[in-house]
Structure 1
Amino acid sequence: MPTDALEYHERTKHSPRSVREGASGLNFDNKPRPYKAYIDLPTKPLADRIRPPQQPALSAIAESTPDGDPVREKPTLETVTALCYYAAGITKAIERRGRTHLFRAAATTGALYHVDLYVVCGDLEDRGDDATRVESGLAAGVYHFDPRTLSLDVLREGDYRGVLAAATEHDAVADAPLSIVATSTWWRNAWKYEERTFRHAFWDSGTTLANLLAVAHALDYRAEVVTGFADEPVADLLGVDPEREAPLEIVPIGSGSSAGDPSDETPDLEPIDPDTEPLSPTEREFALIHEAWRAGTLEDGASAERWRSVRSDGPIGRRDPGNGERIALEPVDSETASSRPLHRTIRRRGSCREYARESISFRKLSTVLDRAVRGVPMDVRPADAPPLSFVDPYLLVTAVDGLEPGTYHYHPAAGELERLRSGEFRREASHLALDQRLGGDAAVCLYFLTDLEAITDAIGDRGYRVAQLEASLTAGRLYLATYAHRDLGGTGLTFYDDVVTDFFAPRAAGQTPLFLYTMGHPA
């Protein structure tokens, strides 16, 4: 019997004792490669020139709905290039101790890059006269994005969008000229993090898709994250074995290009099992990961549509505001906000490894929170949903000008912080963050917590994925909002689960942390 979400979460919690007793060295001779390398598959080069999205990052991340321009022209090969590159491409190379380290566009745990992107599209012709369209478009097919070569591996030829439409029974997928599917290859992360990899699958796909949504919206295309789909048909479409690599989310891009009736338009889905290079000399399996994935799967498109249609009278897993003192945020307006373009922000983004113990501006903190925590477009969230539907943001503040150090509950709909406790908590901030000094040196630690029992009671085991994803998508936007400011840096950290709950009690009683994001001045 599969391990359900609550059991999985409980069994993968960190505590001071579990970390102390579970510490072991890593076998770097067996470290998996951070890329999926196919053997003898044809490839399609992406566009020679990457056209960077010029919209300011703070504007691009503020989109809380999937809306794009309804008359926007169909995406092109250039569009696919920008989407893939700025979501999962190699954006910088850093020399350290005689070795070159390649970093991707989005933050991932341990820089192990276990999330891959697949493109499923109809014919995408580049705009221009007939003479320039022939070789520069992208034929209908199923492709895997290879960030090493900035190219697409050709998995299937033909229009298979109907498979995704049938697996989701979601209009946005059926109407999209292209969709991008995110997957996780478990071993590429489990080499270091073992069973916690199922958590990291949603942490890391969330930060990746935060970039993808921002780029799509900056280019004025409709885009949202679809979490409800029949898992096995999507895995079969991509030619992946869920015990090793599983589909996580689907992101339809654009509109007005229906895949038609799947029974009439979609080619027969013949099985494929393309050969790939071994990830490492010895690949280990962690049964708990696959069991947790299996517990939340959906059988077919009708099941996905029923699951998606479950609605609550209000947010699930969150806590009501209390009677604490309220401090209104003071975000700057669009005229005076940082105008750093999205493409430069993504290239600048890093994961800060050392903070200076200096105060940050309250207005900059306010602006980061205001733009990043407006809600993410997900299929399971109603159109009139509040900014956050499944998680609560709690702040541990150590150094913000004009804001008393202490703990706060952030209420994004009201744009207010509610003070919970006042006090100097640097030592506690470090301890909560797995006794990492970085947590104590940060100006702000922002935790996303939820009541998992309430989530799974309301929307089942797949709700675990959704809650993790809402937290990580929002954290991905926090990354971008932070690095849109020249003097700020940020990073995600791991934490002692129950110690965090106890620290934010009594407000957080019954909740559990899902993500920790820190920010401050880089040293």
Structure 2
Amino acid sequence: DPAIKNSPFTIVLTSIAWRNAWKYRARSYRHWFWDSGVITANMIATAMSFSLDTKLITGFVDKIVNEMLCLEEKKEASIVLAPIGIGLSQEEPKQIEYPSRFVPDIVPISQGKEVEIDQIWKLHNASSLNSSDEVREWTRSIARMQEIRETEDVNVKTQSKPIDPRSIISQSLSDVILLRGSTRKFSRQPITFAQLSNILYSLTRPTHSDFGDKKSMIDIYFIANDVTNVQKGAYFFNRKDNSIDLLKANVQREVSGYLCLEQSLFSDASVVFYMMTNLGLIVDILGNRGYRSCQFESGIIAGRIYLSAYNQKIGASGSTFYDDAVSEFFSPHAKDKDVMISVGIGIPDYRSKPGRILAGKFSRDDLLS
């Protein structure tokens, strides 16, 4: 990819499989892409603050990248390549000798026994690209996917309301990232429509990537439990005209909690977002790799929700869910769609402590030198 050739450096995100598998078993595979997506949202924002362009590359030969990074097979795997500072490299990339295969000594993260779930690696291998030809075919399939025109059934919405984003005095990005965490208790106080609009507006920007430059593969639905000047109900965020479409009115706030595995935290939230996609269509066109891209992009969207929320002193927390119940609840509008991830937002019922900077600070020149 020319973006990698013309960039001073490339960040590669990987996942250590067992770290979520001990709790979520085979379903933890999607957490690879959720967590990486949230981290990527922070990384993109940080790169932008340095005026460094980046691109997300999910189409690569898995085995080659994993071996170049000396990742231990069936332990850790690459998820995305992110060249940073596209166009700023002053030198042609040099031909380097292929590194010898070795696994470096790693300090154990936990004293407990690592959990191995064979199904995770079956899923991963089924969505891997094994040759340059497969990568090229993946790229062509993405182009076909981007050209598909969506149809909208206007009969399933009862009313539409334009979002109303407002300028705010932003906190520094580093402060927002350090403050960002997962809220453990919401106060059931309302958020304003302007705050919700600012969050939704932050999701309208396309992701510079090999899978979503022209349009997103993810649709955004939400339940509004307590937002000033917004009727309680189920909504679809229409990014074509930056409006929210009311699908169901007077939804009880217990519904959002039930859909998120009956957790009261998500009944207490002011708004709960559900990122959804027509996964069957995606896989038909993109193959199994499309599953990774959908989960990864939904993670990026979740990360942007977190950043925009905490910038406005609103809390946020992600959740798993009852898959079929979410699809059924938002139907008929969400017919044939699957939920990827959910995020609740609201006013925290406590004052959280910000995190600490563990690594050294780098200037723009440091990053490019």
* Both proteins in one fold, TM over 0.5: yes
For the structure 1 residues 319 and 276, does the alpha-carbon distance in structure 2 shift closer, same or farther, using more than 3 Å as the test? farther
Contact kept, 8 Å, 1:490 with 1:519, in 2: the verdict is yes
1:147-296 alignment runs, 5 A limit: 170-254=1-85, 255-257=87-89, 260=92, 265-278=95-108, 279-296=110-127
Which residue matches 1:312? 144
Which residue matches 2:204? 373
Q: Secondary structure at the match of 1:356?
A: coil
Q: CA deviation at 1:510?
A: 1.3
Q: CA deviation at 1:258?
A: 6.7
Which residue matches 1:511? 337
For the structure 1 residues 394 and 404, does the alpha-carbon distance in structure 2 shift closer, same or farther, using more than 3 Å as the test? same
Question: Alpha-carbon deviations, 1:372-426, whole Å to 9, x = none?
Answer: 33222211224xx13xx21111111110111100011111231001110101321
Contact kept, 8 Å, 1:345 with 1:480, in 2: the verdict is yes
Q: CA deviation at 1:306?
A: 2.8
Contact kept, 8 Å, 1:432 with 1:495, in 2: the verdict is yes
Question: Alpha-carbon deviations, 1:209-235, whole Å to 9, x = none?
Answer: 110111001100011211010100111
Q: What is the alpha-carbon distance in structure 2 between the residues aligned to residue 194 and residue 393 of structure 1?
A: 27
Which residue matches 2:363? none
Question: Alpha-carbon deviations, 1:169-209, whole Å to 9, x = none?
Answer: x1101211100000000111111111112100000000011
Q: What is the alpha-carbon distance in structure 1 between the residues aligned to residue 259 and residue 251 of structure 2?
A: 14
Q: What is the alpha-carbon distance in structure 2 between the residues aligned to residue 462 and residue 258 of structure 1?
A: 33
TM-score scaled by structure 2? 0.89
Contact kept, 8 Å, 1:316 with 1:454, in 2: the verdict is no
For the structure 1 residues 242 and 417, does the alpha-carbon distance in structure 2 shift closer, same or farther, using more than 3 Å as the test? farther
- Report the residue type matching 2:316 in the other structure: G
For the structure 1 residues 435 and 354, does the alpha-carbon distance in structure 2 shift closer, same or farther, using more than 3 Å as the test? same
Indicate yes or no: 2:247 matched with 1:413. no
Q: CA deviation at 1:319?
A: 6.4
1:481 to 299, 304, 308: 308
Contact kept, 8 Å, 1:318 with 1:392, in 2: the verdict is no
Question: Alpha-carbon deviations, 1:97-151, whole Å to 9, x = none?
Answer: xxxxxxxxxxxxxxxxxxxxxxxxxxxxxxxxxxxxxxxxxxxxxxxxxxxxxxx
Q: What is the alpha-carbon distance in structure 1 between the residues aligned to residue 112 and residue 148 of structure 2?
A: 44
Question: Alpha-carbon deviations, 1:443-501, whole Å to 9, x = none?
Answer: 10110111111000011100001011111101101100000013x11111111110111
Q: CA RMSD in A?
A: 1.8
1:437 to 241, 255, 264: 264
Q: CA deviation at 1:259?
A: 6.8
Q: What is the alpha-carbon distance in structure 1 between the residues aligned to residue 17 and residue 326 of structure 2?
A: 27
Q: CA deviation at 1:275?
A: 2.1
Q: Secondary structure at the match of 2:272?
A: strand
Q: Secondary structure at the match of 1:508?
A: coil
1:307-456 alignment runs, 5 A limit: 307-310=138-141, 311-312=143-144, 314=146, 320=152, 322-323=154-155, 324=157, 325-332=159-166, 336-382=167-213, 385-386=214-215, 389-456=216-283
> Number of paired residues?
344
Contact kept, 8 Å, 1:395 with 1:444, in 2: the verdict is yes
For the structure 1 residues 226 and 259, does the alpha-carbon distance in structure 2 shift closer, same or farther, using more than 3 Å as the test? farther
Q: Secondary structure at the match of 1:338?
A: coil
For the structure 1 residues 211 and 506, does the alpha-carbon distance in structure 2 shift closer, same or farther, using more than 3 Å as the test? same
Contact kept, 8 Å, 1:373 with 1:474, in 2: the verdict is no
Contact kept, 8 Å, 1:174 with 1:259, in 2: the verdict is no
For the structure 1 residues 514 and 198, does the alpha-carbon distance in structure 2 shift closer, same or farther, using more than 3 Å as the test? same
- Report the residue type matching 1:416 in the other structure: S
Contact kept, 8 Å, 1:187 with 1:283, in 2: the verdict is yes
Gaps of 5+ in 2: 350-369
- Report the residue type matching 1:471 in the other structure: S
1:462 to 269, 272, 289: 289
Q: What is the alpha-carbon distance in structure 1 between the residues aligned to residue 229 and residue 206 of structure 2?
A: 27
Contact kept, 8 Å, 1:207 with 1:473, in 2: the verdict is yes
Q: Secondary structure at the match of 1:446?
A: strand
For the structure 1 residues 259 and 431, does the alpha-carbon distance in structure 2 shift closer, same or farther, using more than 3 Å as the test? farther
Q: CA deviation at 1:312?
A: 2.7
Q: CA deviation at 1:314?
A: 4.4
Q: What is the alpha-carbon distance in structure 2 between the residues aligned to residue 274 and residue 250 of structure 1?
A: 21
- Report the residue type matching 1:283 in the other structure: E
Q: CA deviation at 1:318?
A: 6.8
Q: Secondary structure at the match of 1:271?
A: coil
Contact kept, 8 Å, 1:392 with 1:450, in 2: the verdict is yes
Q: Secondary structure at the match of 1:434?
A: coil
Q: Which range moved further: 368-377 or 251-260? A: 251-260
Q: CA deviation at 1:294?
A: 0.4
Question: Alpha-carbon deviations, 1:318-367, whole Å to 9, x = none?
Answer: 763524211100111xxx32321111111111211111111110011001
Q: What is the alpha-carbon distance in structure 1 between the residues aligned to residue 125 and residue 182 of structure 2?
A: 32
Which residue matches 1:490? 316
Contact kept, 8 Å, 2:327 with 2:339, in 1: the verdict is yes
For the structure 1 residues 183 and 392, does the alpha-carbon distance in structure 2 shift closer, same or farther, using more than 3 Å as the test? same
Larger Rg over CA atoms: 1
- Report the residue type matching 1:329 in the other structure: I
Q: What is the alpha-carbon distance in structure 2 between the residues aligned to residue 318 and residue 348 of structure 1?
A: 38
